[in-house]
Amino acid sequence: MSSVYYITLLLPTLIWNLHLCTAVDKTPLRYRPFRCRNGWSVSQTVRCDGFRNCVDGSDEENCTLPMWLEQPSPNVTVAVGALMNLTCIAGGSPPPIIEWKMNDKQPEANCDWTTEEGVGLLSCRIRLIDSGNYSCVARQPKASLESTVVTHVTVTGNVCKDGFFNEADKRKACIKCFCSGVSSLCHASELYRWNYTMAMNDWRMKYATLQNSGQFNQELGMKVYDKFTDVPRNTTPYYRLPFKFIEYQVDSYGGLLRYEVQIDSTSYQREDPDVILKGYNTTLLFKYKPQLLTGQLNKIAVLLHEANFRRLDGKKTSRDDLMTVLSYIDTFLIRMYPLGGVYSPASTPLVMDASTKLAYHGLGKMSRVEECRCPHGYRGTSCERCDFGYNRASRYLRSGICMPWEWHRAEYLKVSSSTTMRNYHYV
C-alpha cells in the first residue's frame, strides 16, 4: 500500500517541476497578416523565410536584417523581491522576435516576457540566485542577432554574506551554500515538508552486516543479504533501505528520519552506530545516545544535520560532508536490536522527511534546504545531478564534475585501442 502511495505522489511532482522551470511568454496571441502585392494575405511569420508564400513572391521582398535600436544598460542593481524590467528593441523587416537569455539559458519561472514589433520586454521578480548575465537575441526566420551588451545584474539584500543563505524564517541563521562545489549562489528554497514512509519489514527491505563491528576507522566492510533469513546469527544486523531512501536526498537536509525500536534487555553492543550513510566514498555514522528503554517503543528521531553525525575516521562532520553524502546515498543502514534474544524485522514504520513544491501538507517548510544557481551541465536544487547530455567524471571534486558526452567520448578514445563504440560515455 505504501509503495502505491509514494509512486502516485511522485509523478505529479515531476510534471509540476517541469512546469515550474519554464518562463512564460506573455505576448498576446493574435494573427498578424502580411498583405501580398496582389491583395491576398499571408501570416507575418512567413515573411522572409526563404519561401514564396505569396503567389507573386512579395513576402520575400524588402527583407532587412535585424539591428539593435535599444539595449539595456550593462550594469543593473536590483533588490531581492523587486521587479526588474529589461528592454531590447531591434529594427529589421520583418520585425524580429526578441528572446532572452540568463547565463545562456532560458530565464526561469520568476520571469515573463513579451515581444511585439521588435520590442522585447523582460520582467522578473528578482531572487538572490538571479544575479548573473542577461542578454537578448533578435530572431527572424532566417537570421538572428545577439545583443552586443550583456547586462550584469547584481542582486542586493542578502542578510547573510556572499556564499551563504538565510535559513527561512530565521533572521540570524546563515548557512553556507553547498551547491556541490560548483556554485556559490544560493537561497533558501521554497519547499514544503512532507514525508515518505515504509514498514521496516517491507518486502523491498534488504539487510546487511558489518565486517568490522565495534571499530570503524577505515573502509566500511559490509555484506548485504536479500532475505533476513540469510543473515548469520552471531552478528548485529542492519536494515538496508531500498530506493527512495537512497540516491538523491539533498532536499531532506534539516529534516528528520524517524523510526521505532523495541528492546527487552539492556545488553547490546553499545559501540555500533545506529544509522550509517554512505555516498561518494564518504561514510557518516549516527549513534543514538540516550539509554534505550525496555518494554516500550523507543521513538528515534535523527535530525539530518552535520552536528549529529561522525565521520568514519572519527573527525567531525562538516555540512559539505553531509551534503555530499545526501547528494547520492548509495548505502543507508539502520541498526536492528534484539527482542527476546533474537533479531527480526519490525512492522513499525520508518518515516523520512523530504520536500515538495507541490503542496502544503500542514507540516511547515523545509527551511534549511538550499536552491542553487547551477552552471551548465548541472541540475537539482544543489546542482547535485548532471544535466541531460552530461555525465559525471570522477575528478577535481569529491563528487566529480559533470562533463558533456563528447568529452567522455574523447576520453574513451584516448584509452581505448579498439574503435568499437560501446558505452563510451560511462568511462
Ligand X SMILES: *[C@@H]1O[C@H](CO)[C@@H](O)[C@H](O)[C@H]1NC(C)=O
Q: Write out the residues near ligand X by the rule CB under 6 A.
A: 37, 58, 61-62, 74-75, 83, 85, 103, 123, 132-133, 150, 194-195, 258, 281, 351, 361, 363
| Least distance in angstroms from the C-beta of 9 to ligand X | 9
Report the residue number, 236 or 324, with the smaller CB distance to ligand X.
Answer: 324
What is the distance between the alpha carbons of residues 75 and 168, in angstroms, rounded to a whole number?
Answer: 29
| Least distance in angstroms from the C-beta of 75 to ligand X | 4
Report the residue number, 297 or 363, with the smaller CB distance to ligand X.
Answer: 363
Q: Which of 99, 146, 335, 147 is nearest to 236 (CA)?
A: 335
Q: Is 131 left (phi over 0), alpha (psi -120 to 50) or beta?
A: beta
Report the residue number, 107 or 237, with the smaller CB distance to ligand X.
Answer: 107
Sign of the alpha-carbon torsion through 372, 374, 380, 384: negative
Chain center to CA of 296: 40
What is the distance between the alpha carbons of residues 88 and 71, in angstroms, rounded to a whole number?
Answer: 5
Q: Which of 374, 380, 284 is nearest to 325 (CA)?
A: 284
| Least distance in angstroms from the C-beta of 233 to ligand X | 31
| Least distance in angstroms from the C-beta of 61 to ligand X | 4
What is the distance between the alpha carbons of residues 415 and 378, in angstroms, rounded to a whole number?
Answer: 26
Report the residue number, 176 or 258, with the smaller CB distance to ligand X.
Answer: 258
| Least distance in angstroms from the C-beta of 151 to ligand X | 10
Q: Are 332 and 243 spatial neighbours (Cβ–Cβ below 8 Å)?
A: no
| Least distance in angstroms from the C-beta of 74 to ligand X | 5
Report the residue number, 151 or 236, with the smaller CB distance to ligand X.
Answer: 151
Sign of the alpha-carbon torsion through 183, 188, 192, 193: positive
What is the distance between the alpha carbons of residues 237 and 226, in angstroms, rounded to a whole number?
Answer: 12
Report the residue number, 37 or 316, with the smaller CB distance to ligand X.
Answer: 37
Report the residue number, 336 or 374, with the smaller CB distance to ligand X.
Answer: 374
Which residues 6+ apart lie within 8 Å of 380 measured at CB?
A: 248, 250, 374
| Least distance in angstroms from the C-beta of 28 to ligand X | 13
Report the residue number, 150 or 174, with the smaller CB distance to ligand X.
Answer: 150
| Least distance in angstroms from the C-beta of 170 to ligand X | 21
Cis preceding-peptide flag for 94 (omega within 30 of 0): yes
What is the distance between the alpha carbons of residues 239 and 207, in angstroms, rounded to a whole number?
Answer: 5
Termini Cα distance of the chain: 39
